[in-house]
Amino acid sequence: MTTISSSIEVIDADLKQLRINERIAADNLSLLPHQSDINYTSNEAHSVDQKQNALLSSHFHVDWEHRLTDDELDKLSFEGFIIIDEIFEDRALLALQAESGFIDYRDAHLAAGVRLSHIRGDKIRWINKDFYAGFYYLQSINELAGVLNRTLYTGIRHSEAHYACYPIGFGYQWHSDNPTGRDERVLSAVFYLNDNWEKDDGGALEIVDHHGVHNVILPVANRLIIFHSDLRHQVQTAYRQRYSIATWMRRDTLVPFVSV
């Protein structure tokens, strides 16, 4: 049975508190050790305890076994994408929204390492040990991947994600999430963070499904879209600043991760 690497280790069955490890960025979201294996300064330990008391992984719990219906699984298989609304409880959504607003974003680049803002205009920050809400989000995504492995035999082994911010006037032109000749990314997912998003705000995700049909999805807060990573898609030009979490569920082993 495939084990999905998680960024979270459940230490307490009731509290499910987050444990932090300095190696996590290099290991790209591998399993975290017990707190006894970590050498904190007293100030660092106090800071971690405060954040753990304020936010628990249970706030991000989703019963994916029941949220994913047979019809949705069939749609993901045959059309290549599904949309699920109202994913998390309010506290989890607010935590992700708050965290996304206090990030030092960096310019995103194309696969060749080139920055061409007229093709891709978003700014990103990969989720690492510094993003508490983001870690909990990834734990939930790994639980989702486990359900997909059992039901659709997807062979997912780990997940990765980054926060994304599209400034006004920018989008991301047509592309697929697997570069030519690559297939490590099995499924892509995008979780949206903006409240009160309207059609006139732009920034919609346009995706071409397995039947060649163009589907336009508004980036509504607390909405998750899951799609096959080989599908062609684009982010239309945003007319409001647009926040989201771009996520990939992968079949390869953990790879060295460098935050840039």
203 falls within a domain: yes
User: To the nearest whole number, what is the mean pLDDT of the chain?
Assistant: 79
Does 4 map to a domain? Answer: no
| Structural domain contains residue 200 | yes
Residues of the domain holding 214: 58-250
Tell whether 240 is covered by a domain: yes
For the stretch 174-185, pLDDT in tens is 999 988 778 899
**116 pLDDT exceeds 70?**
no
pLDDT more than 90, % of the chain: 62
Q: Does residue 170 lie in a domain region?
A: yes
List Cα–Cα distances, 12 to 15, 19, 35, 119, in angstroms: 5, 11, 12, 45
Into how many domains does the chain fold?
A: 1
Domain presence at residue 110: yes
Q: Is position 176 within any domain? A: yes
Query: Which pLDDT score, from 0 to 100, does residue 181 have?
Result: 78
* Domain contains 9: no
CATH number, position 98: 2.60.120.620
pLDDT, average across residues 173-197: 92
Which residues fall within 8 angstroms of residue 237, CB to CB, at 6 or more apart? 169, 170, 171, 202, 203
